[in-house]
Amino acid sequence: MRIKKMLLLIAVPVLMLFAVVAFFRQPGHAETAKAPPAPVAVDSTKCIAPAEYMRANHMQVLYAWRNSSVREGNRVYIAKNGSRFQKSLNTCLGCHSTNRLFCFNCHMYANVKPKCWNCHLSPMETP
Amino acid sequence: MNKERRDFIRKTGLGVLAGICASSGLIQAFALEETVLPAWDEKPVPGKIRWGMLIDTRKCRQDCKECVAMCHHVHNVPDFGNRKDEVKWIWKSSYEHVFPTSTQQFRTKEVLERPYLALCNHCAESPCTRACPTEATFKRWDGIVSMDYHRCIGCRFCMAACPYGSRSFNWRDPREGIKEASVDYPTRMTGVVEKCNFCSDRLVKGLMPACVESCPEKALTFGDLNDPRSDIRALLESNNTMQRKPELGTKPSVFYII
C-alpha cells in the first residue's frame, strides 16, 4: 500500500509539471500550425540558389525535388533567403527557357545525356 | 492488489512517459495539423485523406466520350489507333467486362447494355504496389496509387498483378501518338507502364479531376472517402453501390451506382 501511495505521490506532481510545460510550449506550436495556408507564391524574379552552386549541384537539387514532391508530396521549396518555390522543373524553365539552349549548351559540351527530355518538355520544345 | 488500482498506476506511468516524449519533441506535432487541398504547404499527413470516386452509371450516355477525351488530352495519353499498342487511363466498357464476377442474376436489358466507365480503382489494398520491385508504383499519403515514372523499369509485374486491367505499357514512343500535346503534364517514354493518377497533378492546383470536370451529365463525384460529411459519402449512404471485383479484397476507391 505504502509503495502505491508513494508512486502516486511522485507521479501526480511530475504529470502536472509536464502539463504546465506542455501548456506553455503550445502557443508557439499553435501559431505555426494554424497559420492560414498561403497560396504557394512562385517567385519568378530570382533563382533558387546562386548560379555557381546550381552549375555544380543542379542534378542533386532536381533529384531531391523529384523525390520529395512525387513521393512525399512535399511540394514547396524554401530557399536559404526564405523565398518559396514550387518543386517543379517548370519553376526553373519558367524563366530559363527564354534561352532555348539553356540546358543543351553545357550538356553538349560535357557530353552529358540526361533523360529528362524523354518525358518533360525541354527549353527547345516549350512554347 | 485491486485490478483497477493496478491499471490506474500503469496508466499514470504511461502518461508520464508520453509527457516526457511530447515536451522533448519525440512525438511530433504534425499528427494534429490540418491538410488543405489546394495549398499543400507542409508535408501532408499520411492516411488522413482517401480520395475516391462515385460513378452514376444511370446518367452516363452511350454516345458521349468527353471524360475519356479530356483525360487523355490533359495527360498526353497517346492514341496509335490499334489495340496492340493501346494506352488507356479511362475507358468505356460493357457490364460483363467491368463486373465479370458479379453474381447478380436477372439484370434488366437496359442495365446490361449501359456503358460503364473503367479506370484505376486506387485500391486501399493495391496488389500492383506489392508486385512492383522498384517501388515505382506506390500508395500515396492520400490513398492514390501513384506512379513514379522515373523509377519504372518496365517489368510489367504490376500489369500482371492488377485485376482490373487498368495499366498500359508503352510499347512505342508515346510522343508519336499524341496529336495535340498538353504542356501541363509530361509525356512518358518507351518501356514504361502508365495508368490513371486520379489527377494528382490537378489536385495540387485545387482542380477537380479532368473526367469529373468534363462530364456533361455530372455523373462523376469525387471526394474524400474518409470525410463523413463529403458529397461522395452522402451519395454512398443514400444509394446502393457496387465496386469492381470486391471479392478480391482490394478495397477499390471507385464505386458505381447501377
- Domain extent, residue A19, equals 1-35
Q: Which residues lie closer than 8 Å to B151 by C-beta, 6 or more apart?
A: B134, B135, B136
Class of domain B51-257: alpha beta
Domain presence at residue A85 = yes
Domain presence at residue A46 = no
Interface of A with B (CB under 8 A): 4, 7-8, 11-12, 14-15, 18-19, 21-22, 25, 29, 33, 37-40, 66, 70-76, 115, 118-121, 126-127
Domain presence at residue A10 = yes
Catalogue the E-assigned strands of B17-115.
Answer: 51-56, 90-93
Of B20, B32, B40, the CB nearest to A73: B40
pTM above 0.90, yes or no: no
Note the pLDDT tens digit of each residue in A71-106: 988 888 888 888 888 888 888 888 888 889 999 999
Task: Please give chain B's pLDDT, 258 residues, in tens.
Answer: 576 777 777 666 666 555 554 444 443 332 222 233 344 455 677 888 999 999 999 999 999 999 999 999 999 999 999 999 999 999 999 999 999 999 889 999 999 999 999 999 999 999 999 999 999 999 999 999 999 999 999 999 999 999 999 999 999 999 999 999 998 899 999 999 999 999 999 998 889 999 999 999 999 999 999 999 999 999 999 999 999 999 999 999 999 999
Of A11, A37, A70, the CB nearest to B41: A37
What is the domain count for chain A? Answer: 2
Rounded distance, CA A89 to CA A116, Å? 10
Question: Strand B193-194 vs strand B51-56: parallel, antiparallel, or unpaired?
Answer: unpaired
- Best residue of B150, B151, B189, B198 to probe chain A, by most A CBs closer than 10 Å: B150
Minimal Cα–Cα distance from A56 to chain B, Å? 22
Domain presence at residue A57 = yes
Q: Which residues lie closer than 8 Å to A14 by C-beta, 6 or more apart?
A: B16, B19
Cell of B71: 483525360
- Contact criterion met (CB below 8 Å) for B123 and B174: no
Which H or E run includes A86? strand A84-86
Mapped onto helix, strand or coil, the DSSP state of residue A122 is coil
Q: Are residues A73 and A109 in the same domain?
A: yes
Q: Are residues A55 and A114 in the same domain?
A: yes
Question: Strand B220-224 vs strand B51-56: parallel, antiparallel, or unpaired?
Answer: antiparallel
Catalogue the E-assigned strands of B101-206.
Answer: 116-119, 137-139, 145-147, 168-169, 193-194
Domain presence at residue A44 = no
